[in-house]
Amino acid sequence: MSAPAPYDDVVLAAPVTVPYVRYSTKSAHWFLGRAVAELLAVAKIPKARIDGLAVASFTLAPDTAVGLTQHLGMTVRWLDHVPMGGASGIVSIRRAARAVQNGDAEIVACIAGDTNHTDSFRRNTSAFSQFSQDAVYPYGSGGPNASFAFLTAYYMRTYGATREDFGKLCVAQRDNALKNPLALFKKPLTLEQYLDARLVANPLRLFDCVMPCAGGEGFLVMRRETAEELGLHYARLLGAIERHNAFADDPVQYRGGWVMDRDNLYAQAGVAPEDIDFLETYDDYPVINVLQFEGLGFCREGEGPAFVRANTFEVDGSFPFNTSGGQLSVGQAGAAGGHLGITEAIRQLTGQPLGAQVLNARHGIVSGFGMINYDRGVCSGAVVLAAP
C-alpha cells in the first residue's frame, strides 16, 4: 500500500461552538445555521466566500446537507453529508483537506449540530440502523448504554480494568470542564460520587454516560495561504486516518480501527506518540477512551489500566486529555460530539482555549469514533494537528 499524499499546507481555523442547552424546541437547522454565522463572524468573511460545506447531524431529517444549502442560502461547489457519528469530524477533515489541496474548494466549513427534544434520544436510537432495529433495540431498548456495558464488562474482565480506573478519567475530565464556561456540568465530581452513582446497566453507572443535549460545533478547512490572507489563527494538519468496520471477527470490540492505521498516522505527521502534548478522544463512555489510548499507541494493547494508573489527565497533568471536559462533562450535542475535540484542539494549538491552556501545546491528536451499527463502533479515525 503506497503512502497517502501528505497534507501539506492544509490548516484548520475559526473554531466555533454554539452553546449547548439540555433541551431545545428548535430544529437542527438552527444550530447549524448559528454555527455558520459564527464561522463568518470569527473569520470575518462574507458567506459567499465559503465554497465547500461538510455537515454532520442526527436530527436534520428529512433534510441532508442539500436541504441546508437552500435553508442557509449557500451556494457551494463542494458538498458532503457525513453520517458517521463521532467520527464525522475527522472524516470531514480528511474530505475537506483533499478538496482544498486540489482546488475543488477554497474554504470548507465543517459543521455539526443537533437539536434535542425530550424524545429525541429515544427516536434516534430506536431507528438507528437496520441491524440495531432487528437485533439490538428489541432486547431491552437500552440504547448505546447497553452496547457499551457489554464492552466495558468484557474489557474489565479481560484486562483487569477497575471502576476506579475509569473513574479517574471521568474525574479528570470534570476538572477540565469546570474551567470551560460552555460546559453543561458545573459541579466537581469526586471518585466516590462516581463509584456510588446510580446503576444504569452494570458495570456502567450514571457518570459513565454522556448527557445528550442540543448544540453545534464548526471550523474551517483551507490552505495556509488563504488563512494568512484572512489573518486567521490556524492549526496545521499533519496527518489523518480513518477506518471502518475494522476487526470484524473480534468477538467483542476490544480494539478499535486506529490499530490498523496508527503507524501510517505518525508517519504522515512525522512524529511519535511521545511528541503528542494532548489528546482529545471521542469519549461517549470511559472504556472507549482506554481503547483510544491503546489504539493510538500511547500504551500497548491490554495495558490501558496500567497507563491510566501511571498518569494524570488534567490540563496540567502528565497526559492532558479531553482538555475542555469532553462529552462526558460538556455534553453530547449529537453528531457535534465528534467535533468538540477538534475545536478544542484548534483552540489549544492557537492559544485560545475555552478553559485552561495546555502548556507548550505544539502537537495534539483528535480521535473520532462512532456508529454502533450493531455490536461495535464501526467508524474510527484520528488527526494529528500542530501549532502554526
Partner 1 sequence: MPERAARPQPKNPILRTRQPTLPPASRSRVALGLTAAAARGCFALQVCRDCGAVQYPPREVCGACLSHRLIWRPQDGKGALITETTLRTAQELYFRERLPWRVGIVRLDAGVNLIAYLHAGVGAAPCRVRVEAALDRAGQAAFVAIPEKGRPDLSDDPKLREFTCDPRGRKILVTDGKTSVGQAIVQALVKAGADKIWIGEAEPWKKISGLEALRALPQATVIPLDVTDGGSVQELAGEIGGKVDILINTADYHRTFSINSRRGVETAQLEMDVNYFGLLRLSQAFAPMLKARAADQPSNAIAWVNLLSIFALANYSPHGTYSASKAAAFSLSQALRAELRAAGLRVINIFPGPIDDEWDQLEMPPKLSPASLATATVEALKGSVEDVYPGDVAQDWVARHLDNPKALEREAGEGAR
Binding site for partner 1 (CB under 8 A): 121-122, 125-127, 130-131, 133-143, 145-146, 149-151, 153-154, 157, 198-204, 251-252, 374-375
Q: In this complex, which beta carbon is closest to partner 1, that of residue 145 or of residue 289?
A: 145
Query: Least Å distance between CB 120 and partner 1?
Result: 11
Query: Least Å distance between CB 287 and partner 1?
Result: 12
Helices and strands in the chain, H and E counts: 14, 11
Query: Least Å distance between CB 25 and partner 1?
Result: 21
Q: In this complex, which beta carbon is closest to partner 1, that of residue 208 or of residue 277?
A: 208
Q: In this complex, which beta carbon is closest to partner 1, that of residue 116 or of residue 343?
A: 116
DSSP string, 294-319: HHTTSS-TT-HHHHHHH---STTSSS
Side-chain half-sphere of 339: how many Cα atoms within 13 Å? Answer: 36
Side-chain half-sphere of 298: how many Cα atoms within 13 Å? Answer: 28
Q: In this complex, which beta carbon is closest to partner 1, that of residue 332 or of residue 350?
A: 332
How far is the C-alpha of 288 from the C-alpha of 291, rounded, in Å?
5
How far is the C-alpha of 363 from the C-alpha of 351, rounded, in Å?
12
Give yes or no for a contact between 320 and 334, defined as CB atoms under 8 angstroms apart: no
Q: In this complex, which beta carbon is closest to partner 1, that of residue 41 or of residue 206?
A: 206
Query: Least Å distance between CB 155 and partner 1?
Result: 9
How far is the C-alpha of 348 from the C-alpha of 358, rounded, in Å?
7
Q: In this complex, which beta carbon is closest to partner 1, that of residue 253 or of residue 329?
A: 253
Asked if residue 4 has a cis previous peptide bond (ω within 30° of 0), the answer is no
Query: Least Å distance between CB 314 and partner 1?
Result: 30
How far is the C-alpha of 98 from the C-alpha of 105, rounded, in Å?
9
Query: Least Å distance between CB 349 and partner 1?
Result: 38
Q: In this complex, which beta carbon is closest to partner 1, that of residue 138 or of residue 181?
A: 138
Q: In this complex, which beta carbon is closest to partner 1, that of residue 1 or of residue 139?
A: 139
Give yes or no for a contact between 140 and 126, defined as CB atoms under 8 angstroms apart: no
Exposure string over 40-53, b if 16+ CB within 10 A, otherwise e: bebbebeeebbbbb
Query: Least Å distance between CB 242 and partner 1?
Result: 21
How far is the C-alpha of 368 from the C-alpha of 174, rounded, in Å?
20
Please count the other Cβ atoms lying within 10 Å of the Cβ belonging to residue 137: 18
Q: Name the packing angle between helices 144-159 and 286-295 (round to 10°).
A: 60
Query: Least Å distance between CB 204 and partner 1?
Result: 8
